Amino acid sequence: MADISEYPEALRDVMEMFEDIDEHGRAEILLDYSSRFQEVPSYIAQRPFPEDHRVQRCESEAYVFTEPNAGGGINFYFAVENPQGVSAKALAAILQESLMGEKAETIKAIPHDIVFRLFGKRISMGKGEGLLGMVALLKYFADLTQKEQKSE
Amino acid sequence: MSNSGYAHPDALVNTEWVAQHLNDPAVRIVESNEDPLLYASGHIPGAIQIDWVTDLNDQIRRDYLDRKSFENLMSKHGISNNTKVVFYGDKNNWWACYAFWVFQLFGHTNAAIMNGGRLKWVEEQRPLTKEVPHYPASTYHAQERSDYKIRAFRDQVLGHVNGQLPLIDVRSPGEFKGELTHMPDYPQEGALRAGHIPGAKSIPWSKAVQPDGTFKLPDDLKALYEQDNGFAPSQNIITYCRIGERSAHTWFVLTYLLGYPTVRNYDGSWTEWGNSVGVPIEK
């Protein structure tokens, strides 16, 4: 497991909330985040969302979008088409509330074990893969957006 | 909707039936989900949660719980041998069917699936609660887990391949074809090889459900499996997917809705086959 200090600074507070937490407390916090999920604004993307923005093998039908901001950072957004996809919405809200607008390097530095720290080590393989896929696709598009920024 | 026409109508109840039996001591409602947060976000009043990872699986071996653990699980939730257990859940009842299937390994035949699952209950604006019920412990006597009739293992599947016996791959067409994404640092499906088991026919699980999430009607199911794909009740069929939950859904359809007597679910599924050394694979 990555040490908390290896996490981007903007994520450390939320990651610390999940240290040594019981399952009830974990669920309460995640559901609270899930309730604050905000879908991608229509000026960024509209249905039907493009397939190349879809998180493969995510059972919650999540999509990831990015755009450069004026400060040289990355704004990013999610759509979660499965109305029952509360875990995907919780992860999206945590990432957005913590890292929105950060530099691509910061987003790309999200440690691989974030899903297990947030959702617990006993999360199923399929669920873990879907949520990890959201993080991986966010990193991919952050990198792509950064390269486009540099080439302009 | 009536269940008439299905081979085993008692194995399927509708949301209204569940609503009428919320306080029935002879009935236990069980929620089983893919998303572990859903139950905590609100569930059918009186429903308990059974999680396929933490409750139904052995925590060391890749296998299901044993008889003693199953008895303890039933006792903890106040389920007796005579209790009618009704399963529902997210994702069109994938995990509900999976839990139902595990219960059958222990011979708990007084069981049913709530047609349409959690989403139908929610969309009908039926009540949900966050209150977790606690039932007095019961005494439960389970049979030893019996795998031979409804569960298939890798070597049996290999025998099926060699014998050119019928297999149904219920994953998506992309998974069946072995299409891989080439995006860097991107999680695959937990298998080193992609494709399908030779000879398997692709019938995605989703073809067995209607747009509202309920199972298709008997004639439509017969048309799907028999007219369109050439299967017959007399066949010895194995279903599989990635980890056995979607194929439990198709296993339920074939066994309980169409009445096929010899259907087994290969729970090792693609995560085992696609990682096994030397087994044949088709793309």
Total of domains in chain A: 1
Same domain, B104 and B15: yes
Pairs of CB atoms within 8 A across A/B: 75
Is residue B146 one of the residues assigned to a domain?
no
Segment B13-42 mean pLDDT: 96
Inter-chain contact B271–A119, Cβ cutoff 8 Å? no
Same domain, B23 and B108: yes
| B275 touches A: beta carbon within 8 Å | no
Same domain, B222 and B174: yes
In the structure encoding, which two tokens stand for residue B208, read together?
């067995």
Same domain, B169 and B222: yes
Q: Cα–Cα distance between A84 and B126 in angstroms, integer?
A: 16
Segment A88-117 mean pLDDT: 96
pLDDT in tens, B67-108: 999 999 999 999 999 999 999 999 899 999 999 999 999 999
Query: Which domain CATH number covers B108?
Result: 3.40.250.10
- Answer with the residue of higher pLDDT: A6 or B4: A6
Segment B141-166 mean pLDDT: 97
| B169 touches A: beta carbon within 8 Å | no
Same domain, B262 and B172: yes
pLDDT in tens, A21-76: 999 999 999 999 999 999 999 999 999 999 999 998 777 899 999 999 999 999 99
B241 is an active site residue: yes
Query: Which domain CATH number covers A143?
Result: 3.90.1010.10
pLDDT bracket for residue B131 (50, 70, 90): very high
Segment B195-222 mean pLDDT: 96
Report CA-CA distances (Å) from B84 to B11, B80, B100.
Answer: 10, 9, 12
pLDDT bracket for residue B189 (50, 70, 90): low
- pLDDT of B1 > 60? The answer is no
Kindly report which listed range (A3-12, A24-33, B184-193, B270-279) carries the lowest average pLDDT score: B184-193
Q: What confidence score (pLDDT) does residue B190 get?
A: 72
Is residue B138 one of the residues assigned to a domain?
no
In the structure encoding, which two tokens stand for residue B210, read together?
């209607």
Q: What confidence score (pLDDT) does residue B187 get?
A: 47
Q: What confidence score (pLDDT) does residue B2 get?
A: 64
Range of the domain at A71: 4-151
Q: What confidence score (pLDDT) does residue A56 get?
A: 80
Q: Cα–Cα distance between A131 and A58 in angstroms, integer?
A: 7
Q: Cα–Cα distance between A40 and B29 in angstroms, integer?
A: 36
Report CA-CA distances (Å) from B181 to A63, A82, A136, A144.
Answer: 15, 22, 13, 17
- pLDDT of A129 > 90? The answer is no
Is residue B119 one of the residues assigned to a domain?
yes
Range of the domain at B116: 9-123
Segment A116-141 mean pLDDT: 90
Measured in angstroms, the CA of A80 and the nearest CA of chain B are apart by 13
Q: What are phi and psi of A86, to 5 degrees?
A: -70, -35
Total of domains in chain B: 2
Mean pLDDT of all residues belonging to chain B = 94
